[in-house]
Amino acid sequence: MNMIVLSSDPAAHDASRRFRIKARGMLCAWLVMSSAANVAYADAQTAYTLLPPPSELYGDLFVAVQTQGVYPDQKTFVDAIPKIDPAQIVQAYHQQMSVPGFSLATFVAQYFTPPTDQVITPPPNQSLREHIDWLWPELTRLTTTANVPANSSLIPMPKQYVVPGGRFREGYYWDTYFTMLGLQEAGREDLVDDMLDNFAYLIDTIGHIPNGNRTYYVSRSQPPFFSYMVELAAHKEGGRVYQKYLPQLRREHDYWMQGADTLQPGGAVRNVVMMPDKTVLNRYWDERDTPRDESYSEDVATAKLVTNRPANEVYRDLRAAAESGWDFSSRWFGDNMTLATIRTTSIIPVDLNSLMFHLETTIAIGCGEARDFRCVGEFVGRAAKRAIGINRYLWNKNGYYGDYDWKLGQPRNNPSAAMLYPLFANVAWPERAHKTAETVEAILLKPGGLTTTMYNTTQQWDAPNGWAPLHWIAVQGLKRYGRSDLAQQIGTRFLADVNNVYNTQHKLVEKYIVEGSGTGGGGGGEYPLQDGFGWTNGVTLKLLDLYSPGQ
């Protein structure tokens, strides 16, 4: 392997050397591995033509339905099933819209079948663990090309998958990893494999894993956890899994790095940014710069509050925040408080780049399984450069890993639970990991677990809310760097919060209040609290087995 020299900074050189030594050890291990059989992913589905999103299919009818509030939830119409061909519906709308007495609500009811929310009624007297086990089949779906209605916004997938629950009637990218944790703990390796195959199918057919399997989500992705899903399956099934999904891992990387070879220092294209020193890092992005189909009126209202830049820039930043999974959070706000100051595409996120580091190291492992050592060298090198970039730009001198505003050329002073991602991805320098743990303990640890940020903005990815996936990231990251004591505090406090809500409301929910006068299901955001709930179920089951195995 060629030596990688990236910086004149002695600390950076030391980090690079430590990484190369580790990488050489990995390569030695790979050299003695027997080659695994190349298992190609085969699509069992018939051909599927991806439709445009509802905003394009229905044009001014779509705008009328969303702006006039035909449904209380903007997501309802985009999930509705048209009863006839969309072009015929649009034609009928244009013919009838000017007729005296025309009722838009009546027209929509005539031509569309709205989705129905699943009502979950569990048997009485279930323990928390029993309830989670009972929920898996309740949240499992099979939506192939054979049973998805014509012209639906739902994108078929060949195998079963678990939905989050409530208004979230489809699969979601990053949710799925945390759901898989619980499925594997529950012995449902078959469903883990099915969901992994579904995402491989989406990469093969669409070119990336969308935000969710809906046509209106295709213009963006979500935090890239596919490599962690592959790693999860490999823990049970062995190293061959890395080789099986290597083509999709590489294509996932290609998607996130599109345009990187065209960049100049200080420039950005799509999901990539080149820093002044030529370090390439990633940001969240969206192909489209229009209001989101599923939140049309809300986005239009937000853009109207912004007077100092074009609406299309605001729309793209709103969409990019949706790609982050943190929609919405003070992390993306210029003033740390107001949605109208959103600047997501100007920010280099610490979580995304930690995940990209893991993707690059996972590809290197897959290439080792395939005995493609040129590829191993390439991706070990890419990961080494990213590790130095993370520790150069995403370390905040106040003692934690955080985001960086590349347009302003300065760190974002908004500590959040995302600071634990470098620990989770094993890319943190040890001394910085310990300082980050101290910061977490001092400002983010609350009676009910880990608060998401320090700001109470009324947005759901801010205080006082805590989220299951961030608790898992925290627990695993802190354990990796020798802070099992703090990990246990965070895990057991969150478990107590989950138990409290379950004992009083008999359900698991999307998010929880972790601080203040009372705990319970969290609030804020664009929609009411959702129950179900896929990733909460998965993380809770893992935490139960870690800290309350008898419960």
Q: Binding site for substrate: which residues?
A: 167, 174-175, 211, 220-222, 325, 526
Known binding-site residue numbers? 167, 174-175, 211, 220-222, 325, 526
Torsion sign (Cα): 134, 135, 138, 139: negative
d(CA 534, CA 192) in angstroms, rounded, equals 13
- In degrees, to the nearest 5, what angle opens at C-alpha 343 toward C-alphas 67 and 396? 145
Question: Residue 142: how many CA atoms within 13 Å on its side-chain side?
Answer: 9
CB pairs under 8 A, 24+ apart, for 249-254?
249/359, 249/362, 249/363, 249/366, 250/363, 251/203, 251/204, 251/207, 251/208, 252/203, 252/208, 252/209, 252/224, 252/226, 252/227, 252/359, 253/356, 253/359, 253/360, 253/363
> Residue 347: in which H helix or E strand, if any?
strand 347-348
Burial track 417-439 (b if 16+ CB lie within 10 A, e otherwise) = bbbbbbbbbbbbbeebbbbbbeb
Closest CA to 46 of 153, 147, 196: 147
- CA 367 vs. chain centroid, Å, equals 25
CA nearest 523: which of 440, 462, 447, 439? 462
Do the Cβ atoms of 55 and 62 come closer than 8 Å? yes
Burial class (CB in 10 A: 0-12, 13-18, 19+), 468: buried
What span, in angstroms and rounded, lies between the C-alpha atoms of 19 and 28? 14
Give the CA distances from residue 162 to residues 142, 192, 295, 492, in Å, rounded to whole numbers and listed in that order.
9, 10, 23, 26
Question: Catalytic amino acids?
Answer: 327, 510
DSSP assignment of 276-339, as one string? TTS-EEE----S--S--GGGHHHHHHHHHT--SS-HHHHHHHHHHHHHHS--S-GGGBTTSS-G
CA distance 322 to 324: 5
Dig out the tokens for 517 from the structure: 């006068």
